[in-house]
Amino acid sequence: MSRWAPDAALRLESAAVELFEEQGYGPTTVPQIAARAGLTTRTFFRHFADKRDVLFLRDREFPDVVGAALAGLPDALGPGELVERGLAVAVAPLDHWRDSIGRRRALIQTDDRLKERELLKSARLSEAVASALGTRGLTPLDARLLAATAVAVFDAALDEWLDSADGTALADHLTAVWERMRAVRG
């Protein structure tokens, strides 16, 4: 067993998802996950704070990805357009991961502590968007409101995408949900 394992986190994630699906989230232990991945418990804790954390590996970087997407857009865009385009850029790579994101979501629905952790994920994304908007000159209040709107649209679009089986890209669901968001406010 190599101590240096650049793909250790991904192997631990796969092993955890398999075990959670086979025997449930509650009964699965960190040593079991590590053993299934062919790694030590100590390696597990180098990559993850706890058993919950392993299901949120891919979410760690997403706020930074969205922040970077926003930072890369032209200054001339209005804040609403900026957020809408930034999210569309950031989600493009997710289409390749639809199956594993869907399995992960199904697991999260089985446990209240995982659902709580999922809320934290949305809060971190909201902070990243608000911070990127702050550097564009929005007031803290405006940045916070627009960021919360963007995260609500993103979360809803992600569910629509996972629930639909017609191969529509996540970015297209995002566009449709932004339109509903504008319509529902009247």
Binding site for its own copies (CB under 8 A): 78-81, 116-117, 119-120, 122-123, 138, 141-142, 144-146, 148-149, 152-153, 155-156, 160, 177, 180-186
Which one, 35 or 148, has the nearer CB to its own copies? Answer: 148
Instruction: Return d(Cα 13, Cα 47) in angstroms, integer.
Output: 10
Return the number of the residue (100 or 119) whose C-beta is nearest its own copies: 119
Minimum CB separation from its own copies for residue 137, in Å? 12
Whether 133 and 80 have beta carbons less than 8 Å apart is answered as: no
- Smallest distance, Å, CB 55 to its own copies? 15
Q: Which residues contact 154 (CB under 8 A, 6 or more apart)?
A: 87, 91, 125, 174
Amino acid present at 158: L
Which DSSP letter does residue 57 get? Answer: G
C-beta of 35 vs 145, nearer to its own copies? 145
Q: How far is 144 from 142, CA to CA, in rounded Å?
A: 5
Residues with Cβ < 8 Å from 167, sequence gap 6 or more? Answer: none
Single-letter residue type at 87? L
Q: Quote the least distance from Cβ 158 to its own copies, whole Å.
A: 12
As measured in angstroms, the least distance from the Cβ of 35 to its own copies is 29
* Under 8 Å between Cβ of 43 and 34: yes
Cβ distance to its own copies smaller for residue 3 or 182: 182
- CB nearer to its own copies: give 85 or 117: 117
Least CB distance from residue 71 to its own copies, whole Å? Answer: 19
